[in-house]
Structure 1
Amino acid sequence: MIVPLEHVLIVAGLMFCLGLACVLTRRSLIMILIGVEVMINAVGLALVGASAFWRQADGQLVVVLLMALTSAEVSISLAMVVYLNRRKGTIDADAYDGMKG
């Protein structure tokens, strides 16, 4: 049974909107990173759905590359969160306004 492309795109769009809402409304750096990950996963879902719909492997190959880049992004961003937590003692995003002009 094949899922229609419209259904896959609706679910991917909802996932992306939920991730964007998490990024825009949360104050914790960890929750912001989780929201970014949900948005990246939504893009991957849309690529896999389109790849299956058009019967091309290109979208699936891009998702494998996307997963590799995402794992690198997660490790670097979590290391930065740990560093910032040790430096300021909090992971609240509003505490890091040192670059404001």
Structure 2
Amino acid sequence: MVEIITKIPLEYYIILASVLFCIGVIGVLIRRNALIIFMCVELMLNAVNMLFIAFSAYRGDASGQVFVFFIMAVAAAEVAVGLAIIVMIYRNTRSVDVGELNKLRY
């Protein structure tokens, strides 16, 4: 698998990861649905993971792949906690719109 990654220029991975990360940032800033925002955060994490793997393969060092493993473990915990929070918000407000969260203050 390392041979396949090294045949593609590193710049292509950087460009693709940058586009994915920008899509995630735009999604977080523009969208109002908590689930969509959550998915955009995951998209940003996956863009960073792709860069770690590309740089790791480019340099021939496995440390980037170890970082990806830990990031994926943290992301799995984030998904469990985040979805539990979103479910509780939906139970209280019957909506996952982040504009509706002002009602939870009082």
Fold conserved (TM > 0.5)? yes
Q: Does 1:67 align with 2:64?
A: no
- How many pairs align? 100
Structure number with higher helix proportion: 2
**Correspondence list, 1:45-84, <5 A:** 45-84=50-89
Identity rate of aligned residues, in percent? Answer: 35
Residue 3 of structure 1 deviates from its aligned partner by 1.3
Partner of 1:5: 10
- TM-score, scaled relative to structure 1: 0.94
Find the aligned partners of 2:85 and 2:29 in 1 and give their Cα distance. 20
Unaligned regions of 5+ residues in structure 2, if any?
A: none
Displaced runs of 4 or more, over 2 A: 97-100
Q: Does 1:17 align with 2:22?
A: yes
CA offset digits 1:30-75 (Å, max 9, x no partner): 0000000000000000000000110000000100111010000011
Residue 98 of structure 1 deviates from its aligned partner by 5.3
